[in-house]
Chain A
Amino acid sequence: MDACVNEATGASALPNPLRSLPGTEEFAELYETHSKAVYYLALRFLADPQKAEDVTHDVFLKVYRKFGEFRGDSSIRTWLYRITINHCQNLKQSWHNRNMVTTADDTVWNTTAASAASPLRALETKELGERIQTTLAALPEEYRLLLLLIADNELSYEEVATLTEQTPDAVRGKLHRARKAFAAHFAKTA
């Protein structure tokens, strides 16, 4: 099959191998629609491209097996993220650093001078992704996850609250601190 050009982006796109399998058209479309979001969440949460690939593969394989059990009481994206978050957290727990104790303290972030409302200025270079990864990796896991989820335009505060098992008000409060912490650390990576 020849590579086709994506009409929306003008970028060439490889044909989806999932479409070559009989009876998986709907699943292939699901993958095309949501795989980027799943991969990005795993990548920035785990800070490991190989593990992010593993998670993305495992998440969609589980979805393929369990799609009949999806009750539709949440959006597909929320369901996918739920599976992704569980996979990522299971991976982190099984790592050799399970017994490492973090000394990260929330109050550290609250005493920084950076304002959550300050614009983030950055050179648009390939290093920007590395700076973002370094910054996210330095944040408490809870802040990292909140920022990654809320950045997804398809999720509401209520859905983020459900995914992180807290109230929407708690999400809003923690987000303010998370943004501040991110800005403070991001500035240090320049």
Chain B
Amino acid sequence: MKHESKQRSQEQEQLAASSAQQTNTREFATTEELLRHDAAQVEVPPAVADRLAQSLRNEPQPERSWWQRWLKR
């Protein structure tokens, strides 16, 4: 009886491990679906926006058009 319960316990452990692995396995019907899933996990590093903001601060101010200069008289 003890042997049977130990065996049953081992079987249950194996099933649990197998289920755990199965729940982490995904199937993607197409390459595009896989890539979309991948794309959804990828975030743009925040440093890019910081760097871009700095670059924009260094951009020369655009010249006002003639009508803007005229209106500001």
Chain A residues with CB under 8 Å of chain B are: 14, 16-18, 20-21, 24, 31, 35-37, 39-40, 43-44, 49, 53, 56-57, 60-61, 64-65, 116, 119-125, 128-129, 132, 147-148, 150-151, 153, 178-179, 182-183, 186
Q: Which residues of A contact B49 (CB under 8 A)?
A: 16-18, 31, 35
Binding site for A on B (CB under 8 A): 21, 24-32, 34-36, 38-39, 41-53, 55-57, 59
A129 proximity list for chain B (CB < 8 A): 38, 41-42
In the complex the two chains form, is A119's CB within 8 Å of B27's CB? yes
Cβ of B41 and Cβ of A39 under 8 Å apart? no
Whether the Cβ atoms of A40 and B39 lie closer than 8 Å is yes
A119 close to B42 (CB less than 8 A) = no
Known contacts A35-B44, A39-B42, A151-B35: A61-B52 contact under CB 8 Å: yes
> Shortest CB–CB separation between residue A188 and chain B, in angstroms?
15
CB neighbours of A14 from chain B (8 A) = 46
Q: If A53-B45, A61-B55, A129-B41 touch, does A17 touch B50 (CB 8 Å cutoff)?
A: yes
When A and B form their complex, which 7 residue pairs have the shortest distance between CB atoms, in order from nearest? A151-B35, A17-B53, A39-B44, A151-B32, A120-B28, A119-B27, A40-B39
CA–CA, A148 and B36, complex, Å: 9
From B29, B34, B48, B56, A122 is in contact (CB under 8 Å) with B34
Tell me if B's interface is mostly helix, strand, loop or mixed. helix
- B56-A153 in contact (CB<8A): no
Give 15 pairs: A residue, B residue, CB < 8 Å, sorted on A: A20-B53, A49-B45, A53-B47, A53-B48, A57-B52, A57-B55, A60-B52, A61-B52, A61-B56, A120-B28, A120-B30, A122-B26, A122-B28, A123-B26, A151-B36
Q: Determine the chain A residues whose CB is within 8 A of the CB of B45 once the complex forms.
A: 49, 53
Excluding A36-B43, A57-B51, A148-B35, 17 further A-B contacts by CB distance (< 8 Å) are A21-B57, A36-B44, A39-B48, A40-B39, A43-B42, A60-B52, A65-B59, A120-B28, A120-B31, A121-B25, A121-B26, A124-B26, A129-B42, A132-B34, A151-B32, A151-B36, A186-B34
